[in-house]
Amino acid sequence: MRILVVGAGATGGAFGTLLQEAGRNVTYLVRDRKAEALRRDGLRFVSPDADRTHPVQVLTTADTAPAFDLVLIAVKATAISSAMTDVHPFVDANTRILPVLNGMAHIDQFQAAYPGQVLGGLARIVATLDGYVVHQRTPMNSLMVGSLTDAPVPNDIRDALDVPGIDFSITDDVVGALWDKWAFIAAASVVNCLFHAPIGRILDAGGEGAIRAAIEELEAVATQSGHPVSDPAHRQALALLIDPGSSFTTSLYRDLAAGLPSEVDHILGDYALRAMALQQPTPLLDLALIAIRANLSD
């Protein structure tokens, strides 16, 4: 199976390396400057148990190649449109597209472009891109995949993605799982962004009530949308966000804090719009969006 990873960033570099180490045929679609560096230096991936640099196969939009069997989309939401355009020459009717972005709107966008070819994907990993180096910051690294049609996830895709280092699973309700994660990441981002702090410091400052209120507020929107957060996901949200001493922050908050392009509109803005359409009040989310947008316009 030939796998194209679009974006050699935090998630793409981490999953791509582990797939390559398991013998999968992995190629990265990257932009020109990164292509040069990757071709020259290889891709360095530092995980809690290893620091390695592998030579990698790289394509840019200037190259041609036969269509791939699986395309893993690992770009930020701000790059969805460019990724959709850039990937087009490397996709045919048999290619499966697997986005691992947080949020939900990208699923509709890819499905509109490639009807019947898109799988739902969820990445659970804390990874960063530092220069060209990919760091996996904690041992957690899981990939959950599910079908968005009546057909099951093809066996060759399961086999290709089930490799050491990735806790791989298939779900029967990937849309529900995406909502579970979206509600969690939105609640965590709301409190990180409102209080400019990781979870432990918010709790130390007496913020447990506010964290619980954010979880309740965002889970209510999921319920109204027809995708109530599952009990295990709710318990996990509480365990992660009511955890004294925790240094947890979301990638959205870390990007904002670092002045990088962020997924505010995709993860929080879209959530607020859906809540508004359902007439479901989201006072904390609204405040967080004002705080973020006021600071972004500095």
Ligand X SMILES: CC(C)(CO)C(=O)C(=O)O
Q: Which residues bind ligand NDP (CB under 6 A)?
A: 6-12, 29-31, 34, 74-77, 79, 82-83, 86, 100-102, 123, 125-127, 129, 251, 263
From the list ligand X, ligand NDP, none, pick the one residue 217 interacts with, judged by a Cβ distance below 5 to 8 Å according to partner type: none
Site string for ligand X, 241-270 (x = CB under 6 A): ---------xx-------------------
Q: What is the 3-state secondary structure (H, E, C) of 143-154?
A: EEEEECCCCCCC
Quick check: helix, strand or coil at residue 36? helix
Instruction: Give which of 40, 29, 126 is closest to 68, Cα–Cα.
Output: 29
From the list ligand X, ligand NDP, none, pick the one residue 189 interacts with, judged by a Cβ distance below 5 to 8 Å according to partner type: none
Decide: is 282 part of the binding site for ligand X (CB under 6 A): no
> What's the CA gap between 272 and 289, in Å, rounded?
9
- Minimum distance from CB of 96 to ligand X (Å)? 22
Tell me phi and psi for residue 42, to 5 degrees.
Answer: 80, -175
3-state helix, strand, coil in the chain (%, to 5): 50, 20, 30
- Minimum distance from CB of 237 to ligand NDP (Å)? 15
Decide: is 102 part of the binding site for ligand X (CB under 6 A): yes
From the list ligand X, ligand NDP, none, pick the one residue 250 interacts with, judged by a Cβ distance below 5 to 8 Å according to partner type: ligand X
In the set 124, 167, 216, 257, which binds ligand X (CB under 6 A)?
A: 124
From the list ligand X, ligand NDP, none, pick the one residue 201 interacts with, judged by a Cβ distance below 5 to 8 Å according to partner type: none
Number of chain positions touching ligand X (CB under 6 A): 8
From the list ligand NDP, ligand X, none, pick the one residue 199 interacts with, judged by a Cβ distance below 5 to 8 Å according to partner type: none
> What's the CA gap between 29 and 162, in Å, rounded?
22
> What's the CA gap between 172 and 148, in Å, rounded?
9
Q: Which residue has the tokens 């959205």?
A: 252
> What's the CA gap between 250 and 252, in Å, rounded?
5
From the list ligand X, ligand NDP, none, pick the one residue 127 interacts with, judged by a Cβ distance below 5 to 8 Å according to partner type: ligand NDP
User: Which residue is closest to ligand X by CB?
Assistant: 251
Asked if 191 and 202 touch (Cβ cutoff 8 Å), the reply is yes
In the set 185, 190, 237, 288, which binds ligand X (CB under 6 A)?
A: 185
- Minimum distance from CB of 265 to ligand NDP (Å)? 12
- Minimum distance from CB of 185 to ligand X (Å)? 5
Beta bridge partners of 167: 142
User: In the structure, how many helices (H) and strands (E) does the chain have?
Assistant: 12, 10
Give the helix/strand (H/E) hosting 179: helix 174-195
> What's the CA gap between 222 and 30, in Å, rounded?
34
From the list ligand NDP, ligand X, none, pick the one residue 79 interacts with, judged by a Cβ distance below 5 to 8 Å according to partner type: ligand NDP
* Residues lying near ligand X in the complex (CB under 6 A): 102, 123-126, 185, 250-251
